[in-house]
Amino acid sequence: MNAFFHPLSWVHLDWVLVVVVAWLLIGVLGVLALRRFRLVAVVLFPAGGLVALLLLGVGLSAAFSVPEVAVLPIGLPQLPFHLRLDSLSAFFLIVIGGVGAGVSAFAAGYFRQGEGTPPGLICLEYHIFLASIAMVVIADDAYAFMVVWETMAFSSFFLVIANHRIPEIRFAGYLYMLVAHIGALGILLCFGVLQANTGDYTFANMRAQHLSPFWGSVAFVLAVFGFGAKAGILPLHAWLPEAHPAAPSPFSALMSGVMLKIALYGILRVSFDLLQTKIWWWGVLLMAIGLSTALFGVVFSTVQVEMKRLLAYSSIENVGLICTGFGLSLLFSSYGMHALAALALTAALYHLLSHAFFKSLLFCSTGAVLHATGERSLGKLGGLMRYMPWVAWPTLIGVLACAGLPPFGGFVAEWLLLQSFLFTSGLPSSVLNMLVPVLAALIALIAALSGYTMVKYFGVIFLGQPREEKLSGAHDAGTWERAGMLWLTAGCVVLGLFPNQVIALIDPVTQLLVSAGLVKTVAASGWLLVPVSIERASYAPAIFLLGVMFFFALTYLLVRRFYSGRIRRAPAWDCGYPWQDARMQDTAEGFGQPIRQIFEPMFRMKRELPSPFDEQPRYRVTVEDPLWYWLYLPIARLVERISKVIGLLQQGRIAVYLMYSFLTLIVVLLVVKQ
C-alpha cells in the first residue's frame, strides 16, 4: 500500500501518477540536455510516447473498474489533493494516451531542428503539458483542479510562443492566455456556486448538494462559459485560429486533439456529474451554442487559404458538433428519456474520440508539409503526392474521416448523432418535436460543408501540379514522423471498423452520467451497429469495406481484361487553350469562392483593388472574423479607457498615496459606525 494514498486507493490511480511523474522526469532530463537536438528528439520524445502508451493501457483497464479515490498530502494546509478515477476519467485518459503516443513519435522527427526555443526547454514544456492534462481528469476537488488546470494553461502558452521572436506569434500567445484566464474566472465562480456555501470544495461534496433551479442554472452557465473559453465555442473562439497556426505542429495537434477535449470534459463533469438537477432549457442552450459554433467554424474553414488556420476553424466546427450532442443528451435526460440520452451522449463521445485522432493526424501532416516546403499557404502548394507519398496517404485517411465518410470513425460518430436527432418524437413539447429534426438538417449541411473543406485541403496540397518550382525538391517525412502518423491513421481506421467495441468502451461513461447505455443493443446485433432497433436503422462497416474492396478489385480486373494496352495517352481537352500548367488549376481562393458568396453576411471582407499603374495588378479579397470587430475590439477599447481613468490615481507621490489611505480609513470608519 502506498503511504501517500488514502486507504481506498487502488492500483490504477497509482499507475496514473507513475505516468505523470515519468513525464515530469523526462521534462527535467530535457532541461539537462538543453541544446542537444539528437538526444531530445531520438530519446526523450520517444520515451514520452512510450509513457503515453502506458497511460492508454491504464485507461483501457480502468474504464470497466469501480471508481478509485486517493488523497495526496500536497498543496496547502488543510487542502490536500483529492483524486478520483472513474469511467469518465478513464475515457479521457484513453484519449490522452492514444493521441499523445502518436504525437510524441511525430515530434521526435519534427524537432530535428529548433523552433525558436532550445529543444530541451520545449521538451520540458511539452511533458509538463501532458502531465497536467492527465492530472486534470483525475482531480476531485476545486483546488487541485484549478492548480493543474492553470499549469496546463501556462505550459500550453509557452508551447504556443515557442517561436517567440515573431511578433504575430507573441500576439497569438497573449490572446490565448487572456481568453484562458477569463474562462478560468468562470470556472472558479462555478465551483463557488456548486459548493453551496458549505466551505467544502471537494467534488464529492458538490455531488451531494441539491441546488435550486436558479443556482443550478447559474453554475451551468458559468461552466459553459468557463470551459467553453478553452474549448473555443462561439463567441470565445478568437484565440483558436491564432494560436494553432502560431504553435509548432505537434503542439497544434495536441491542443486540438487533446486540450480542447479536456475543456469538454469539464462541461461533462459539471453538467452530468456534479449537478444533480437537469433542466430542459440547458440542453436547448447547449445545442444552440454548439450548432452556431459548428456552422460558424465550417463556413470559415471553407474560405481559408492557410493550412493550419483552415484546420483550426475545422476544430471549432467539431467542438460545436460535440457540444450539440451534449445538449441533446441533457435535453433527453431532463425528461427522463435515459436510453435516448445515452444514444446522444455516445454519439458525442464517439465524435470526441474520433476527432482527437483525425485532427491530430491532419495537424501532423501539415507540419510535415511545412518542413518539406517551407510554405503554409495553400496558394503556393500542389502536386505533393508524388514527392511525399508517406504523408499523402495517411492524410487522405484523416481527410476522409474528418469529412464523415465511411468506413472511418468520423462517419460512425456523425451517423449516430443524426440518429439521435431523428428519434425525438417522444419529447413532451410539440415545439421541440418540430425543432429538433430541423436541427438535424442543419447538421447534415455542416457535414456536407466539412466534406467540401476537406476536398479543398487535400486536393490543393497534394493533387495537381506544383504551383512553385521549389516544391519539386520536397522531401518525404522521416521515420519517426511516419511512425506517429501511421499510429494516428490506425486509430482512425479502428474507430471506423470496430464501432461496437468502441461503444462498449463508452458504455460505462453513459451508465455513470445518464444511467443508461447501448451495450445491450449493440451486443445483441452481432456485426451490425444498431443504435436503437434493427427495424429503425443499422450500419455494417465490415460489409461496406468488403463491398468497396470488391468493387475496386472487379474494376481493376475488368480494365486489365478489356482495356489493357488499348489506352491512348493525350493531354486533357483544354477548350482550345494550349498551356496546361499550374496556373490553370483551381486555387484555394477560387475553391472557396462559392461558399464565400453564399454566406457573405457572415464575413467581414476587405477587397484590395489593383491600380491601373501596377506592373502586375492583383485583386485580393481578405476574409476576417466580424466578431473580432463587433465584440473583442470594443471591449478592448473600453478596458483601455477605464485603465487610463484608473491610471490617473497613480501620481507617483507618497503624499498622495497617504491621502488615499487616510480617506479610505475615514470611509471604513463611517460605514462601521453606521
Question: Is 620 inside a domain boundary?
Answer: no
Question: Residue 29 above 50 pLDDT?
Answer: yes
Read off the pLDDT of residues 480-505 as tens digits, 9 standing for 90 and up: 999 999 999 999 999 988 888 899 89
Question: Is 624 inside a domain boundary?
Answer: no
Reported residue count of the chain is: 674
State mean pLDDT over 350-375: 91
- Helix (H, G, I), strand (E, B), or coil: what is residue 146? helix
Q: Same domain for 491 and 531?
A: yes
Q: Same domain for 523 and 642?
A: no
Q: Same domain for 84 and 224?
A: yes
Question: Is 662 inside a domain boundary?
Answer: yes
Read off the pLDDT of residues 268-315 as tens digits, 9 standing for 90 and up: 999 999 998 888 899 999 999 999 999 999 999 998 888 999 999 999
Question: Is 655 inside a domain boundary?
Answer: yes
d(CA 422, CA 437): 6
DSSP collapsed to 3 states, 612-674: CCCCCCCCEEEEECHHHHHHHHHHHHHHHHHHHHHHCCCCCCHHHHHHHHHHHHHHHHHHHHC
Q: Same domain for 70 and 194?
A: yes
Question: Is 608 inside a domain boundary?
Answer: no
C-alpha dihedral (625, 627, 629, 633), degrees to nearest 10:
-120
* pLDDT band for position 348 (cuts 50, 70, 90): very high
82: which strand partners? Answer: 71
Residue 487: per-residue pLDDT: 95
The overall average pLDDT reported for the chain is 85
Q: Same domain for 290 and 421?
A: yes
- Helix (H, G, I), strand (E, B), or coil: what is residue 74? strand
Q: Same domain for 252 and 389?
A: no
Residue 550: per-residue pLDDT: 82
Read off the pLDDT of residues 165-190 as tens digits, 9 standing for 90 and up: 888 888 999 999 999 999 999 999 99
Domain C-terminal end among 559, 582, 607:
559
68-76 and 604-608 beta bridge pairing: unpaired
Q: Same domain for 232 and 318?
A: no
Domain C-terminal end among 242, 274, 306:
274
Q: Same domain for 297 and 379?
A: yes
Output the pTM of the full model. Answer: 0.90
Lowest mean pLDDT: which of 92-101, 458-467, 651-660?
651-660
Question: Is 607 inside a domain boundary?
Answer: no
Question: Is 593 inside a domain boundary?
Answer: no
Domain C-terminal end among 213, 247, 274:
274
Rg of the Cα trace of the chain? 26
Q: Same domain for 4 and 98?
A: yes
d(CA 263, CA 345): 16
Q: Same domain for 540 and 666?
A: no
Count other Cβ atoms within 10 Å, centred on residue 10.
16
Answer for the pair 573, 563: CB distance below 8 angstroms, yes or no. no
Question: Is 333 inside a domain boundary?
Answer: yes
Q: Same domain for 16 and 144?
A: yes
Q: Same domain for 5 and 118?
A: yes
79-85 and 604-608 beta bridge pairing: unpaired
d(CA 479, CA 367): 14
* pLDDT band for position 65 (cuts 50, 70, 90): confident
Amino acid in position 470: K
Measuring CA to CA, which residue among 36, 174, 54 is closest to residue 112? 36
**Residue 37: alpha-carbon gap to chain centroid:** 29
Answer for the pair 9, 68: CB distance below 8 angstroms, yes or no. yes
Domain count, the chain: 3
Domain range for residue 641?
Answer: 631-673
Report the percent of the chain where pLDDT is more than 70: 90
